[in-house]
Structure 1
């Protein structure tokens, strides 16, 4: 019979070498009694019986945690390890298993609150698997902006062009999302940059998309001065077209990775004097060195504002005060 039914009801067959008897399960459940020493066999069989718990937790976590984030998984793996070794920490299931698992998921929830931005609240985690492409390949920020409904729309969309159409159709709401986040920035060292970002907001609302994009592209350079020189160089060194190397999400902490992957994308190498093809996606170098109708657009202006807003919010939380 299934292990959970057997443990909960106490209906166990006597040990036949490949399962634990009722008495052995009681010994496992009294792990905190210093006089109880579990045998290697008891530890092994209890762990095998409880393996479905580990599998189920892993399955549930995979639906709420981005598939690339080592920072999240580092913490989550500790939880899974505790479950994998549960034969040495399990209590009487009828009384204690549910509270134990509840505590684990509460810990995961606390971790999520500390690391996941508010604008992901309520977003369906089952669609997170396309996250890295949105950040790295398309350069669309998802950290702190836009709001949850747009974030989920981005994740559900089946292509980069679909996401650009979402930005085009919902740009006013996205600009308002950026404005709300910017008004919450109060670090003394960021006030001027915040105000310039708000100027981008006003320019967009007034229909001045080209000036908004130009200001956002240049303001991005200014905000990145708050980074350490080596880190700043790495997020501005996008030579993917030349060497095929992308921004490595695994090399950075969770919030750093999600904030600066779009920054890296925006710094795709571009040489106007070498007659490089002007990109259609938002690109810092092309915005500055190749003013054109191909690069300048309402969608790119909104993306530029999103990138700047996301970076400013990151620094607002991370810079010492």
Structure 2
């Protein structure tokens, strides 16, 4: 293969090479190759149809969602240059290999960054998922993906509570599977308690499951608060102050940031203030679970919500991006 490509001079001398291409010993660097092409110039004209899948693969790993198509294409072009002027010299087998490599890289990235229960989903309706999470129902790590689809499709919170109750066995099984993935030594006590809570929930002793899971969830959240300065706004743990410090659910965020926001997102609804003069909440509420024990607050759906909240948070800590100092 020759070097006489547009933008390069086959007679260029050592002196005309950029200084960055001069090795320490004064000799010439080996020729740089990309798709089998020597010194690929910055070609601006299209070849969009051939490179669109590669651009999409590249841009998908930059942001989770919401970036305009124009901006994604602009960013991706910096990763995968247009090749139209070089079509006769393109190493197409090499290009195909790169496409396969990018696909594998994307799959590896998703395996690391996405919760296991999101991976079987062919698409994610982030807006609909956010609505469910803001109602206080966790969707990261648990429940199973088919339950996520049913929750998102449900028209209102009452129907969603019915979805949880109708899928109790599969939700509990998912909790057991996710808990089995937790290996951090400092999380083992809480893991064991949540395994007990899951057994209680599946055995129709859901009230005991709700009380135990709520206590574990509160314990673990306080552990994160102690270890993560971004959650702190004073020397004492206060629910309203913790809520004010929680990351917003932003569908434009990077994948891991979005995942963590989904883990913490239900906290706001689950810890809404509840006073003696207020009606007892029918949806899961940490304060009502602790201070208003009765048939209104203690329900199968609320027990499953409490269990999933705690399992979701504990599993997120297993990822290692967040610290915790659990006092137990």
State the TM-score, normalized to the length of structure 1. 0.69
Asked whether the equivalents of residues 54 and 99 of structure 2 are also in contact (C-alpha less than 8 Å), the reply is no
Q: CA deviation at 1:219?
A: 1.5
Identify the residue that residue 172 of structure 1 maps to in structure 2: 169
Q: For residues 155-207 of structure 1, what are the alpha-carbon distances to aligned partners after superposition, in whole Å with 9 as ceiling and x for unaligned?
A: 44444333322111111221121123223433221222112212212222332
Identify the residue that residue 213 of structure 2 maps to in structure 1: 216
Identify the residue that residue 116 of structure 1 maps to in structure 2: 114
Asked whether the equivalents of residues 54 and 80 of structure 1 are also in contact (C-alpha less than 8 Å), the reply is no
Where 1:253 maps in the other structure, the secondary structure is helix
Q: For residues 71-120 of structure 1, what are the alpha-carbon distances to aligned partners after superposition, in whole Å with 9 as ceiling and x for unaligned?
A: xxxx9996564136667998616443332333222221111111112222
Q: CA deviation at 1:126?
A: 5.0
Could you tell me how far apart the structure 1 residues matched to 2:201 and 2:73 are? 41
Where 2:167 maps in the other structure, the secondary structure is helix
Could you tell me how far apart the structure 1 residues matched to 2:314 and 2:192 are? 11
Q: Could you tell me which of 143, 147, 154 is aligned with 2:144? A: 147
Q: CA deviation at 1:230?
A: 3.7
2:184 is aligned with 1:182:
no
1:191-202 matched pairs, under 5 angstroms: 191-202=188-199
Identify the residue that residue 13 of structure 1 maps to in structure 2: none
2:311 is aligned with 1:309:
yes
Q: Could you tell me which of 255, 260, 269 is aligned with 2:259? A: 255
Asked whether the equivalents of residues 68 and 249 of structure 1 are also in contact (C-alpha less than 8 Å), the reply is no
Where 1:43 maps in the other structure, the secondary structure is coil
Q: For residues 27-63 of structure 1, what are the alpha-carbon distances to aligned partners after superposition, in whole Å with 9 as ceiling and x for unaligned?
A: 9x999434x7x5xxx7332xx342774488549977x
Identify the residue that residue 297 of structure 1 maps to in structure 2: 299
Could you tell me how far apart the structure 1 residues matched to 2:153 and 2:176 are? 25
Identify the residue that residue 271 of structure 1 maps to in structure 2: 274
Q: 1:238 to 1:59 in 2, by over 3 A?
A: farther
| Bigger helix share | 1
Asked whether the equivalents of residues 278 and 295 of structure 1 are also in contact (C-alpha less than 8 Å), the reply is yes
Could you tell me how far apart the structure 2 residues matched to 1:291 and 1:138 are? 21
Q: 1:207 to 1:61 in 2, by over 3 A?
A: farther
Q: 1:209 to 1:30 in 2, by over 3 A?
A: closer
Where 1:125 maps in the other structure, the secondary structure is coil
Q: 1:184 to 1:99 in 2, by over 3 A?
A: closer
Identify the residue that residue 102 of structure 1 maps to in structure 2: 100
Where 2:139 maps in the other structure, the secondary structure is coil
Could you tell me how far apart the structure 1 residues matched to 2:152 and 2:267 are? 19
Could you tell me how far apart the structure 2 residues matched to 1:282 and 1:141 are? 11
Unaligned 5+ runs, structure 2: 10-33
Could you tell me how far apart the structure 1 residues matched to 2:230 and 2:291 are? 24
Where 2:141 maps in the other structure, the secondary structure is coil
How many corresponding residue pairs?
A: 279
Could you tell me how far apart the structure 1 residues matched to 2:144 and 2:294 are? 30
Asked whether the equivalents of residues 185 and 194 of structure 1 are also in contact (C-alpha less than 8 Å), the reply is yes
Identify the residue that residue 7 of structure 1 maps to in structure 2: none
Q: 1:279 to 1:56 in 2, by over 3 A?
A: farther
Could you tell me how far apart the structure 1 residues matched to 2:158 and 2:83 are? 47
Could you tell me how far apart the structure 2 residues matched to 1:187 and 1:254 are? 23
Could you tell me how far apart the structure 2 residues matched to 1:53 and 1:286 are? 55
State the TM-score, normalized to the length of structure 2. 0.68
Where 1:189 maps in the other structure, the secondary structure is helix
Q: CA deviation at 1:305?
A: 0.2
Unaligned 5+ runs, structure 1: 1-22, 70-74
